[in-house]
Every structure is written in structure tokens, then in C-alpha cells.
Structure 1
Amino acid sequence: MDETLTPVHVLVRSPDLSLPSRALTLAPDFTLRRLKLSLLLPQTLALDSLYFSLNGKPLPDSSTLASAAGGGGGGVLDLTLRLRLRGGGGDGGATGAESRDCYLNMYATKKPDKVDPNETRLSKWTTCALSGEPLAHPAVVDRLGNLFNKEALIEALLHKKLPKEFKHIRGLKDLIPIHLDSIPGATTDAETKFQCPITGLEFNGKYSFFAVRGCGHVLSAKALKEVKSTSCLVCHKEFSDSDKIVINGSAEEVKLLRAMMEEERGRVKERKEKKAGACLSGTKHAADEKGDVLDNGKKDSNGKRFRALDIAPANATKEVYASIFTSSKKSDFKETFSCRSLPLGRN
């Protein structure tokens, strides 16, 4: 201890710990933390759980006896060792200003569990997009590349219970039966049970796969890229690029498939409208005074209409020959939607 420094007389009380008071004479540069260490406190007490106070004012552990004595205390520094109460404020606990409901609501609100992206990917490739059941034969894929168990999808179509995201499926024509190549020896609890029949890549979403519309075989993108061919690599049936349906494609790929589907539906609708228009505007068979019908209103190069009788062979009976091309001649026969009846006496 430096002789130029005047020692400080310290009286330590500890009413919270039921310990006897102690009188010490220490150097003025002695810190309160060193003072706590010198008191030989019970090992069950942590130093941070205790603090010194002077005249009711708490003192930091880094304070020296000289600085503490400057705050009052006379010739003897009367210090009180107190037990720190957690949560009283200033130590990161509650300040008393918060509502108890705030904490209850904070812990009562259950945060949503994080979804494993690998599990989501695998589920999309190994289960039916409609029923969630494991993908199994017979399986189908729609025009946008979604995978289904055929039985579950047909049942939903019959009962008109398709979810909104599958409303583009109007009937069986929008479904493509597919052939999934099974992995030999795959168990029921295996991660995936199908593979590419050419490359052997697993059908689990890690690789791109296509379904060929014409034959329904499912091939990996790697197989189609390495073996460039316009025919199926399994059954050798010809197909075009528009016949390749990407399975579980990205948003851009699904958008392209949807555009192709709408374009094809537009062409089919246009053909039906043209066919219906031609039927409505068609010319009825014209007949002459004797009931002979002209041959579908066809004309020759001079614009004259042909009649069936005009092309009858020389030795043919004209009435019989004309009856081959028309049924407009009245007869005693009566027909219904399901049968032909004969005149009385002939049946």
C-alpha cells in the first residue's frame, strides 16, 4: 500500500445475508469489487447478485473507497452489502411500466413452424396434387404439368369438387395418362419409387422431367437433351416440341403451358364454329316436279345443276338408281328413332 495515501476505515453491514458486521482498514484505491472478494462470501452467492450501498444509494463495483468516501460517511465509511433483486429495472428485466398482458400475448402467440423446402419439393413429386396420397399407377398429368392419381381426379370430376386451382381441367381430354418407370427393389418407405427409364435419375424434383403427350412416357430433361430425337426414347413414337409437358415446372414454364392450352382450345372452338356455320348455311336438296332430287346442288362448269338421273347408266331403272342417292320419295315405311316399322300385312 502506498504510504502517501491515507487508509480508509470501512464498516461493512449485510442485513440481507444475516452476516455479522465487519470493520476493515483498507487503501483508498481499493475497489468495491475487491472488497466483495475479500469478504469470503458463501459460494452459492454470485458476486453480480450483490452490491454495496451508501446512505441508501447503490454504488457500482468499479468505485474505489476514496470515491465512495467523497460521497459522505465521515471518518468511517459505512457500507451496506445488499442482495440484488432481479427484474427490478436497470438490469434488462421489467420496469413495471409494461402490462402483464403484453408478455402473456407475446408468449401465447404461437409462431408458425418453418416448412422444410426439401419436404415440400418431395411431396409435390411423390404425391397426388389433389388427394395428397402417394403417387401410384394409374397416374395422369394435366396440361399444366400437375401430377394426379387418376381415380381421385375422376371422382372429383364426377362430383364437381375440383378446387379452384384445377378448374382448367374440364374433362378426360385435358388429362394425359403417364407411364412412370418404377425403381427396381424400391421399398414402400423409400423417398421416391420412380425414375427415368433412360438415365436412371430419380423422380424426386431434383431433376426436370417431361411427359410426352402422344405415348405418355415420362423422361428426364437430361435424356431428351443428350439423345436428340423426334421420337420417344422408349416406344419410338414420333412427337413434336409442343407434345412435351414439363412436370411441376416453374412459374414461367406453367405460364407458357397455359398459353399453349388456351391457344389449342381456341383453334378447336374455331373449327367447331366453322362446322356449325356450314351446316346452318347448307343448301337443301332441290327436287324437280317428279320428286327427283338433284345431286347435292353440285354444278358443272356451265353452272347447270346435276341430277342423279342425268348420270344413270343406260340399262338402269331410273327410279331405282335415283333411290340410291335420296330417300325423299314417299313410301309406306315409317321410321322411329330406334326401329323401322312395316305397313300392316307385311310385318
Structure 2
Amino acid sequence: MGCDGGTIPRRDELVRVKKKPEQKDKEAELAFKWRHCTIKQLPLQPPVVGCALGRLYSKESVLEGLLDRSTLPESAQHIKSLKDVKNLNLTTNPAFDGNKAEKGDCYADGGKSPYICPIIGLEMNGKYKFCFLWSCGCVMSERALKVIKSTMCHQCQQSFTETDIIIINAEGDDLKKMEENMPIRKVAQKKSKKHKHSEDIQTQDVKEDVKQDEAPKKKIKKEEKTATFKSNSNRSEAEDPAYKKVKENYSVAKDPKASEVFKSIFTTHKSAAEQDRAHWITYNPFYN
């Protein structure tokens, strides 16, 4: 059937035309990149971390990759230790219901993002540029960072520099800028650590000098206290006869000021020889 004069074939039916390549859905690609881990391609699980190139990871995936580097993709080979990633302080989106099951009788908005900008409320879904600060890990939109011009973080009030700004999922010129800032930031961190270490050494030296200056003063005060204590004790021994009782040659039986009733308590008294049972106060094993 056909070709009987009643059908008119089209050009694409007669001539083989080269097929156009399939175009990716940009929205789906952005949603996948901003919601999934770069290493395992699974949904991001908190705690979420970011690297110096702005890629997002689940911290569990990073730890597993550091233990077995064969599992790390080429895009994450620059991560050598946990110092190369930063814990991100993300702000959850109250309008996101990703944990609820989708129903067929209602509209499900797949464009909702689980995180938003804490300053102006933009959703972190890839349509807007987002960044985080390497100094503190706080995440915010680039628009908020440009509008509120400050060198202090808007959330935790920690200072940061221009090299601390990491653009999330950077591409093109932004990615080149992140690659250039990475060694600069490492050098600055090493310098700050050395400066802090030198300051700690200086403060420790100052404390030691203060202690050395205070040591002779404390020694003099201690000697003065001991001298005054000795003089007071000698004076009290001469004045008060009670101090004489601590001497070795002291005996209650020979004490002229002690009464006979008091002396009879002790076994050194003459009445102890006539005693045939244990004393009611003192304990004498000879009479038990």
C-alpha cells in the first residue's frame, strides 16, 4: 500500500537526517548537583561538608573515601584529609516536605530546596549563587553577601577575608578563582598559626619572668612568717606551762599541779598496783 498517488512523503522520510543530541534537563541537573553527594551520588545526609572548590559531600562519604582512596572520584582527589573540607552551617527550609511520600491526588513541588539563605530567604536550588565562608562554615546567598558589605559573618560574627568566600558548585571563571584562592588561603593559615604560636611563646615567657620575680618575694614572706611563728611559739612556751607537757621527760605522776584524782586515771599511779580489774576509763590488758 502507499505510493499510489494518494500520499505525499516528507523529506525526513526520504532523506536520512542526522539526529540532534539529546539535551539535558538543566533544572533536573541542578537539582541533582545541589542535593546529592559528589562522591557517592546519593542524597546529602547531615553533617554536610564542602571542599575548597565548592563541591558538596556527606561527611560519611568523605571519611570512607579517606580510608579507601580508590572510592574517591577524580573530582574529589584534592581531598587529602579532613582539613581539606569544612562543616557547613546550613539553614533548613520550613516549606520543604521532602520526607513525606508523594500522593497522586495532590501537586508535589519538586523545585523546593531543603535549605535556604538565612538572610534573605532564597532557596538553595542552583538557580541562585550560594557561597560559604571557610573561616566559619556559614552558608548564605551571594546576593546577601554583596548587599550587606561587611568583613564579619552575618550569622556568627566571625571575621573573614575575600579568599575565605567559597562559591558552591562553582563553574567557569568562578571555579578558576576557587582554584587560585586555595593555595593563597593555605599560606595565610600557616602564617596565622606561626604568628599565634609566637604570641603564645611570648606570653609564656612573660608569665615565667613574672613568676621568677615573684619567687624571691614569696620566699621572703615565707621566711618572715616562719620567723614570727617561731618567736610566738618560743614566747608561748616560756609563758604558758601547757607547752611543756609535749616534752619527752614530762610525766603526769610528777606534775605538781595535777590532782590525785586525775593521776589515778593513768597506770603510772601508785593505786594501779592494787587494781584487780580494767579501769573504767583507760584500757589495761593486764586486768582482762
What's the counterpart of residue 226 of structure 1?
A: 147
Instruction: Find the partner of 2:96 among 186, 200, 204.
Output: 186
Corresponding position: 1:127 with 2:36: yes
- The CA distance in 1 between the partners of 2:167 and 2:138, in whole Å, is 12
Relative to structure 1, is the Cα distance of residues 125 and 242 closer, same or farther in structure 2, using a 3 angstrom cutoff? same
Indicate the structure with greater helix content: 2
Cα distance in 2, alignment partners of residues 197 and 266 from structure 1: 31
Contact 1:209 1:246 in 2 (8 A): yes
Determine the C-alpha separation between the residues in 1 that align with 2:80 and 2:141: 28
Residue of structure 2 in register with 1:86 after alignment: 2
Question: Structure 1 residues 162 and 233 mapped into 2: Cα distance closer, same or farther (>3 Å)?
Answer: same
Which residue of 2 is the match for residue 165 of structure 1? 75
Structure 2 unpaired stretches of 5+: 100-109, 192-288
Q: Which amino acid aligns with 1:86?
A: G
SS at match of 2:33: helix
Q: Who is 1:141 aligned against?
A: 50
2:135–2:164 CA contact under 8 A, matched in 1: yes
Asked if 2 retains the 8 angstrom alpha-carbon contact of 1:181 and 1:196, the reply is yes
Give per-residue Cα distances to partners, 1:29-56, cap 9 Å, x unaligned: xxxxxxxxxxxxxxxxxxxxxxxxxxxx
Change (3 A) 1:233 1:265: closer
Is the CA contact (8 Å cut-off) linking 2:130 and 2:140 kept in structure 1?
yes
Amino acid corresponding to residue 51 of structure 2 in structure 1: D
Residue by residue over 1:276-317, the C-alpha shift from the partner in whole angstroms, topping out at 9 and shown as x without a partner, is xxxxxxxxxxxxxxxxxxxxxxxxxxxxxxxxxxxxxxxxxx
State the Cα RMSD in Å: 3.3
TM-score computed with the length of structure 2 as normaliser: 0.54
Aligned counterpart for 2:176 among listed residues 236, 239, 255: 255
After superposing the two structures, state which structure 1 stretch, 222-231 or 260-269, moved more: 260-269
Q: CA deviation at 1:258?
A: 0.8
Shift of 1:256: 1.2
Where in structure 2 are the equivalents of 1:1-347 lying within 5 Å?
86-87=2-3, 113-160=22-69, 161-188=71-98, 191-264=112-185
What amino acid sits opposite 2:83 in the alignment? K
CA deviation profile, 1:114-139 (whole Å, cap 9, x unmatched):
32111111111121122222223100
Contact 1:86–1:93 (CA under 8 A) maintained in structure 2: no
CA contact (8 A) 2:164 2:185 kept: no
Change (3 A) 1:223 1:262: same
- Change in 2 beyond 3 A, CA 1:88/1:251: same
> In percent, how many aligned pairs have the same letter?
35
Is the CA contact (8 Å cut-off) linking 2:38 and 2:56 kept in structure 1? Answer: yes
Query: Equivalents in 2 of 1:135, 1:269: separation in Å?
Result: 31
The structure whose RCO (Cα within 8 Å, separation 6+) is larger is: 2
In the superposition, the TM-score normalised over structure 1's length comes to 0.45
Higher strand proportion (structure 1 or 2): 1
Closer/same/farther in 2, CA of residues 158 and 117 from structure 1, 3 Å limit: same
CA–CA distance in structure 2, aligned partners of residues 265 and 238 of structure 1: 17
Question: Unpaired segments of 5 or more residues in structure 1?
Answer: 1-84, 271-347
